Amino acid sequence: MAIISVQQLSKQYGSFTAVNQLSFTVEKGDVYGFLGQNGAGKSTTIRMLMTLIEPTAGEIRIFDLPLSNHRKEILRQTGAVIEKPEVYPYLSAYDNLRLFARLSGVKLSRSQYMQQLEQVGLANRAHDKVTTFSQGMKQRLGIGIALVHNPQLIVLDEPTNGLDPQGIADIRNLLLWLSREQKKTILISSHLLSEIEQVATRLLIIDKGKKMVEGSAQQLFDPSKTLVELQTTHVAAARTKLQASSWGSHLRASGHDNIRLQMDKNDIPRLNRDLVQLEIDVLSLQQQHSLEDYFLQVTAGKNYVDTFSN
């Protein structure tokens, strides 16, 4: 079942197109990673999903309901953290949580509120004013507020902003727990690609408001489509030798100081042996399997899109 269905979504600011006919689907139980460089249109898309801004064109359906007509029903089942979640600095964490819970339509007991604060590691600061909190603590409180009404869909825009490594790890564990134990559907955008890599089950990469790639993490990390980067002293000569060998069909677009090949992960030792036989001086031979590599390739070089989408 599709929890979010976006069709031909566009947002225009004068002559600038922030989001350009974007379509994607988030299925129930997905941890959907939403990736793109700064200004790619991620935040604009998320703001349209949260009804903060009006789309210029296109349709958004959430829980199979059109967002334009069922805003309240949809938001009642949705929790969101948009960028740096700001709360009322003159109120305590407890009061902020209680206030936003009431706005979300729920009224919990004191112990339930404390439990929520415990979940985001703020129980011991529950009654301190937020003005004394660090950005990381505010971020945790924002996540607590997003979860306080037990939503089915959680939308997180850069949720680890301002967090220290321990905080990032805590949020990652929380997301995994929400996804695996609580069966929540999560849409998450982040510039920390390594974070997305560890939690996302499906991914969307956008650039200049347009969809570049959408697919499952399994596809992305398919070992039969591993990218390998070879650094050598004489790139042109090495490329010619490889082209003439059995590795010719594995060559992919390369940089000026490296050569890239796509192959099954198990074939890397054989490539290593062949490079020696072909008398190619190897400076380094590295697997490129991380999301960051794909992300940069797709959004910067616009290469290897086929690798992922295939």
Partner 1 sequence: MWTLFQIELFKIFRRPRTYIAFAAITALIGMVQLGLKVDGKEYASFVMADFNSSFALEGNLLNGYFVCFIVLQLLLIHVPLLIALIAADMISGEANTGTLLLLMTKPISRIEFILAKYLASMVYTILLLVWVALQALFLSMLIFGTDDMFIMKSSYAVLIRSDDVFWRYAGAFCFAALAMTTVAALGFLLSLFAENSIGPIVATMSVIIVSTLLSTMNIPLFNLVKPYLFTTHMITWKEFFDLQVNELNEAIPGTLAYPEKIKNSSIILLTHIFVFVGAAAIIFKRKDVLS
Chain residues in the site for partner 1 (CB under 8 A)? 47, 50-54, 71-76, 78, 80, 82-91, 95, 99-100, 102-105, 142, 145
* Minimum CB distance to partner 1 smaller for 43 or for 297: 43
CA 175 and chain centroid, separation:
12
Q: Report the nearest approach of partner 1 to the CB of residue 79 (Å).
A: 8
Q: Which two tokens stand for residue 130?
A: 């937020």
In whole angstroms, the minimum distance from the beta carbon of 77 to partner 1 comes to 9
CB of 78 to partner 1, least distance (A): 8
> Which residue, 35 or 74, is less far from partner 1 as judged by CB?
74
In whole angstroms, the minimum distance from the beta carbon of 49 to partner 1 comes to: 10
Q: How far is the CB of 149 from partner 1 (least distance, A)?
A: 9
Q: How far is the CB of 80 from partner 1 (least distance, A)?
A: 4
Q: Which is nearer to partner 1, 87 or 175 (CB)?
A: 87
Q: Tell me whether residue 54 or residue 279 sits nearer to partner 1 (CB atom).
A: 54
Q: Per residue, what are the HEC states of 220-276?
A: HCCHHHEEEEEEECCHHHHHHHHHHCCCHHHEECCCCCCEEEEECHHHHHHHHHHHH
Residue 194's nearest CA partner among 275, 295, 273, 117 is 295
Q: Which is nearer to partner 1, 106 or 296 (CB)?
A: 106
Are 173 and 3 in contact by the 8 Å Cβ rule? The answer is no
**Which is nearer to partner 1, 72 or 273 (by Cβ)?**
72
CB of 55 to partner 1, least distance (A): 10
Contacts (Cβ under 8 Å, ≥6 apart) of 66 = 59, 60
Residue closer to partner 1 by CB (options 6, 97) is 97
C-beta of 75 vs 171, nearer to partner 1: 75
CA distance 97 to 142: 9
**Smallest separation (angstroms) from partner 1 to the CB of 180:** 25
Which residue has 């902003």 as its token pair?
A: 161
Strand order from edge to edge, sheet including 185-189: 78-82, 153-157, 185-189, 31-35, 202-207, 210-216
**Helix 135-147, helix 110-119: angle, nearest 10:** 130
How large is the C-alpha radius of gyration of the chain?
23
Q: Is 165 exposed, middle or buried (0-12, 13-18, 19+ CB in 10 A)?
A: exposed
DSSP 67: T
